[in-house]
Amino acid sequence: MKTALSVVAALSLGAAQMVSGHYIFQQFALGSTKFAVYDHIRKNTNNNSPVLSLTSNDLRCNVGGASGANTATLDVKAGDPFTFKADQAVYHQGPISLYMSKAPGAVTDYDGSGDWFKIYDWGPSFTGGQASWPLRTDYTYNIPKCIQNGEYLLRIQSLAIHNPGSTPQFYISCAQVNVTGGGNANPSPTVKIPGAFKATDPGYTANIYNNFKSYTVPGPSVFTC
């Protein structure tokens, strides 16, 4: 009887998790080296749930991600390819963006209150009146070659705009990296988070199901070396 009850309990827990289920970027890779789940990524405390507030500090590195005290910083070289990997393929339509912010000291102590610059956007492509979004598990890009050596937060954000009229959802994770072999660039434009996204941003209010022909990803323009 005990076994049967445990099975029932396990099944209903599974169902509950599916109902509230979203996704979370929980794994980091450097080149072909894949690290354990949450190794070099700040552990959030909201499972796979999104952040909904445009004014919360949780927009920086997710709920529970204000401190990196329990996160090991990873040595990377400027130009290195890295990957954020989600627990399952991202399935809410919307853009995926990458940001960085240089820590004033050790990144383990940094709360992300400084300047952020954007290094990449994955937006929709439009073909024959149809938009298609780059929804998948892995998002790979390179550490910019020209940024200065030092410790950074490296942040991924999936902005889910699949329910026009409802509050868009931010799925966020931050990795901690120590860049070497970089240059002298002062990346711009920079923004603060929160502050970078406004309720009036066209890319935030877009109705992807109605006459959807173009799209501007929220946030600053992408910094390139």
Nearer Cβ to Cu ion (8/89): 89
Closest by CA to 178, choosing from 40, 34, 32, is 40
Q: CB within 8 A of 163, min separation 6: which ones?
A: none
Nearer Cβ to Cu ion (34/162): 162
| Binders in 5-64 for ligand NAG, by CB under 6 A | none
Are 76 and 177 within 8 A, CB to CB? Answer: yes
- What residue 22 binds from Cu ion, ligand NAG, none (CB within 5 to 8 A, per partner kind)? Cu ion
- What residue 73 binds from ligand NAG, Cu ion, none (CB within 5 to 8 A, per partner kind)? ligand NAG
> Does residue number 102 form part of the binding site for Cu ion (CB under 5 A)?
no
For residue 114, give the DSSP letter: S
The residue within the footprint of Cu ion, chosen from 3, 20, 22, 191 (CB under 5 A), is 22
State in angstroms the smallest separation of the CB of 103 from ligand NAG.
10
DSSP 69-113: TTS--EEEETT-EEEEEESS---S-S-EEEEEEE-SS-GGG--S-
| Binders in 162-201 for ligand NAG, by CB under 6 A | 178, 180
Nearer Cβ to ligand NAG (58/151): 151
Which tokens hold the place of 199?
């309720």
Nearer Cβ to ligand NAG (137/178): 178
